[in-house]
Amino acid sequence: MEYISTGKIIKEFRERRKLSQLQLCEGLCEPPSLCKIETGKQNPNKKLLDALAAKLQIPIALNVPVTRIEFERAQIEREIVRHISMGDYNIYSLLEQYDAVHSNMDRLEKQFYLFASSVYESFVKNDFLSALKGFMESIQITFSSYKIGMDISGHLFIPIEITLLNNIAICLNRLERQDEAVELQKQLLSCLEHIGLETEEYARKFPMISYNLSTWLGMAGCLEESLSVAEKGIECCLNYERYSNYSRLLYNKGYTLMLLKRISEGKEFIKKSLVQMISFEDKKYFKKAKEDIIESFGISFWNEISTIHLP
């Protein structure tokens, strides 16, 4: 039985995608290091391997031996990501642990540390200007030419860059730079559609970005566009079974239909969204939805649709 090395797989996919070594390793490593990896003379660390595989859209998991330090940081990183995904942004002690594992971080570890620190700045300290600076510093580690407002369509993305750009857009929106935030989210959705949503990381991010964009477009009065974006997000949730933003996208669709005077459709989607919020125990958003509905459509409308109650 013939086995193929990790380096050969990387080289094969790079050549298949007609990329030079310089194009592939931009922001990740130096060309001589990539050459050694491809020829089997050097093993990349796990974070670098994952980043190279993401850029090349390699459809199988690649593995390399990991050091004790890499393993410990990876465990803490997983815990930080779990907290963030659950909306728990009190991650300061975990950030201290991540930093204390070893005195040196490689560029991808530093990128993650800056990202997580900026999440803490934005959602715990509500300092969106400092957070924006941190997110920008983080993304420029691997995407050195990035500037707000630039065309990002030709860039070869790694997953954390999508997350960083989404958070940059959130900061821009909170800093009342809505036009820049909306334009960035539109570009992100277009890039994800171009990359393809078969990759789990991207299929998970598409509904999140769709939700943000549909919300902001709705607030700007772009109702038809908001509806279209929400429907794309819902379709992705159903096709790829990624439900973390499903109830909120259903709500955006229902709310927008109501504003477009498509009342019966709007009612049905709002009802569906409330059911999903209860199913996923999204009590915080359920309460927000209730307040929005009563404010926008009146208490009688709420009483009509609310056969659902919080536990």
Mean pLDDT of 268-292: 91
Q: Is the pLDDT of residue 196 over 80?
A: no
Question: CA-to-CA distance for 276 and 266, rounded, in angstroms?
Answer: 15
Find the DSSP H helices in 86-158: 92-100, 107-123, 128-142
pLDDT per residue over 45-75, tens digit each?
A: 999 999 999 898 887 778 888 888 888 999 9
Q: Is the pLDDT of residue 197 over 60?
A: no
The reported pLDDT for the residue numbered 185 is: 97
Mean pLDDT of 84-101: 93
Question: What is the C-alpha end-to-end distance of the chain, expressed in Å?
Answer: 58
Q: Is the pLDDT of residue 229 over 70?
A: yes
User: pLDDT band at 87, cuts 50/70/90?
Assistant: confident
The reported pLDDT for the residue numbered 3 is: 66
68-194 maps to CATH 1.10.600.10: no
The reported pLDDT for the residue numbered 310 is: 47
Question: CA-to-CA distance for 273 and 246, rounded, in angstroms?
Answer: 8
Local structure of 126: helix, strand or coil: coil
Question: CA-to-CA distance for 25 and 56, rounded, in angstroms?
Answer: 11
The reported pLDDT for the residue numbered 98 is: 95
Are the folds of 6-56 and 68-194 the same? no
- Phi-psi label, residue 241: left if phi above 0, alpha if psi -120 to 50, beta otherwise: left
As a whole number, the mean pLDDT across the chain is 91
User: pLDDT band at 182, cuts 50/70/90?
Assistant: very high
Q: Is the pLDDT of residue 204 over 80?
A: yes
- The ranges assigned to domains in the chain are 6-56, 68-194, 196-311
Q: Is the pLDDT of residue 85 over 50?
A: yes
User: pLDDT band at 209, cuts 50/70/90?
Assistant: very high
The reported pLDDT for the residue numbered 64 is: 82
pLDDT per residue over 145-169, tens digit each?
A: 999 999 999 898 999 999 999 999 9
Q: Is the pLDDT of residue 143 over 50?
A: yes
The pTM for the full model equals 0.89
The reported pLDDT for the residue numbered 199 is: 67
User: pLDDT band at 2, cuts 50/70/90?
Assistant: low
Mean pLDDT of 222-226: 98
Question: CA-to-CA distance for 209 and 85, rounded, in angstroms?
Answer: 14
**Residues in CB range of 285: below 8 A, 6 or more apart:** 247, 248, 251, 277
Query: Between residues 87 and 115, which one has the greater pLDDT?
Result: 115
Mean pLDDT of 188-207: 81
Query: Between residues 308 and 205, which one has the greater pLDDT?
Result: 205
Q: Which CATH code of 1.10.1740.10, 1.10.260.40, 1.10.287.610, 1.10.1840.10 fits the domain covering 6-56?
A: 1.10.260.40
